[in-house]
A and B are shown apart, each in its own frame.
With several copies, the nearest count.
Chain A
Amino acid sequence: MAYLDGLKVTLLISFMAILLGIAIGVVVAILKVASSNYKIKWLTRICNIYINIIRGTPLMVQLLIIYNLIFNSRNTNELVIGAVCFGINSGAYVAEIIRAGIESIDKGQMEAGRSLGFNYIKTMRLIILPQAVKNILPALGNEFIVLIKETSVAGVIAVTDLTKAAQYVGSRTWDILPPLIIAALCYLVIVMGLSRLLSVFERRLSKGDRH
């Protein structure tokens, strides 16, 4: 039962965090692509600072800092805390996924759109983004899987996720290996299940449209 509750926490935090991460990531990616296109240097720089700090420091340290910096209100739900911490982290990675997705589209597509008379934004919206989504969705699925694994350090900020639940079972029985192995199996089943799902989904996406 402790495992089940922990698992629920793990999945819920991952899920809320990826949603928040997507929200942050979309905004940052668009700001970054647009600001570099229109040469607004300071905006590009702000986006890069956020991305570099998140990608340049360990998740665990970020977690501890965000937790101690932001959350001083006693009424915040621990799930929300976890989701916000991981979401802020994930946002930087999602932003890069989206940017890469946009840049993966052959630049002939932008040129074809522009030469028909569309402006930059309309070409993005009508031609580039609809194609980029096909590259972005699988990568986002992957990021979600990564998040599930990463939330295993959530224990340091008072969240009882699957890993922490297993550790406590071990604390009680003074036999720490079996609960950890059970937890590892849980993660493995979930991660591999999702991976398989993802690759089926990916194959579906690419089938209709090979170019």
Chain B
Amino acid sequence: ACGTKEKNEKLIVGTEAGFAPYEYMEGDEVVGVDMDIAKAIAESMGKELEIKNMDFDGALLAVQNGTVDFVAAGVSVNEERKKVMDFSVDYVDSVEVVVVNKDNPAVADVEDLDDKVIGVQQGNIADFWVEDNVNAKEIKRYTKFAQAAEDLKNGRIDCIVMDQFPAEELVAANQELAILDGILFEDKYAIAVKKGNKELLDEINSVIEQLKEDGKIEEFYANHTSKN
């Protein structure tokens, strides 16, 4: 059934479905804000969207060697990454926060991260930020936030540094956890494509601009946060 023509019509997005509301599993389907944006991009290009669910840092590598066309996984833009891939206009301003155990807050303040055991997602912007800016006792690198949350509940780590929206999802589902007041740093998410893939980048940029204009992105958020 799949001729060569159809193959060319496929648009592949790489993501890591452990980052609600941006991307997460619903039944056996990957959904979320990023996926809605990806669908809009595919639609406007007239291609069929295929979602590859990988580890976060695996996805970023996959876009570099062309295994996927683009990555939509709450990817933060930074200088290091710009050297090896191209980024679209950002579609969200996010802030990174600190999640702690409510009953037993080992961290009092967002400024107070030195000498703490900090959980992050491996390859996530917070991983690098903490490594570069904090004198942590230990950085524990997880592939899944769920495992980090479990460890935080069990007191094996002192806090998790992560994006605000997923953090809100996290504390909503776990009474024992809380977000500290204040933000750690600001951050912009964008879609990553292979370095030099100008054609696709332009296409993506125009779709994102259009979505922003139509207020669609807020709509997407509403859809995916109201569920919990």
Contact = CB atoms under 8 A, between A and B. Distances in A.
- A touches B in complex, CB < 8 A: yes
Contact of A75 (B7, B57, B64): B7
A171 B67 contact: no
B122 A168 contact: yes
Contacts of B54: 157-158
A173 interface: yes
Interface string A150-174: 0000011110100011011111111
B24 A158 contact: no
Interface stretch (B137-145, B181-189, B209-217): B137-145
Given A72-B155, A74-B66, A158-B147, A174 B25 contact: no
B155 A74 contact: yes
Contact of B52 (A5, A158, A165): A158
A167 B67 CA distance: 19
B191 interface: no
A116 to B, nearest CB: 56
Q: Which of B60, B66, B147, B149 has the most CB of A within 10 A?
A: B147
Nearest to B65: A72
A168 B20 CA distance: 11
B68 interface: yes
B61 A174 contact: yes
Interface residues of A, number: 28
A121 interface: no
Interface string A1-40: 1100100000000000000000000000000000000000
A125 B185 CA distance: 67
B29 to A, nearest CB: 9
A76 B128 CA distance: 26
B28 A1 contact: yes
B147 A176 contact: yes
Nearest to B152: A74
A29 to B, nearest CB: 33
B100 to A, nearest CB: 13
Contacts of A115: none
A158 B28 contact: no
Contacts of B66: 72, 74
B72 interface: no
Main secondary structure of the interface of A (DSSP, over half): helix
A167 B26 CA distance: 13
A71 B156 contact: yes
A5 B27 CA distance: 10
A169 B24 CA distance: 9
B146 A170 contact: yes
Given A1-B27, A172-B25, A156 B146 contact: no
A62 B123 CA distance: 21
A164 B146 contact: no
A71 B65 CA distance: 9
B96 to A, nearest CB: 18
B119 A172 contact: no
B170 interface: yes
B56 to A, nearest CB: 9
B69 to A, nearest CB: 7
B55 A174 contact: no
A57 interface: no
23 contacts: A2-B28, A68-B61, A68-B150, A72-B155, A73-B67, A74-B155, A76-B156, A155-B55, A156-B55, A156-B143, A158-B14, A158-B58, A158-B142, A158-B147, A167-B144, A168-B122, A170-B61, A171-B17, A171-B25, A174-B60, A174-B80, A174-B83, A174-B174
The list of the 8 closest CB pairs from A to B, nearest first, reads A74-B155, A158-B54, A171-B57, A171-B18, A171-B146, A174-B173, A171-B123, A168-B25
Given A73-B154, A76-B156, A167-B122, 19 more contacts: A1-B27, A1-B28, A68-B61, A68-B150, A73-B67, A74-B68, A74-B155, A158-B142, A160-B141, A167-B57, A168-B122, A169-B25, A171-B24, A171-B57, A171-B61, A171-B122, A174-B80, A174-B81, A174-B149
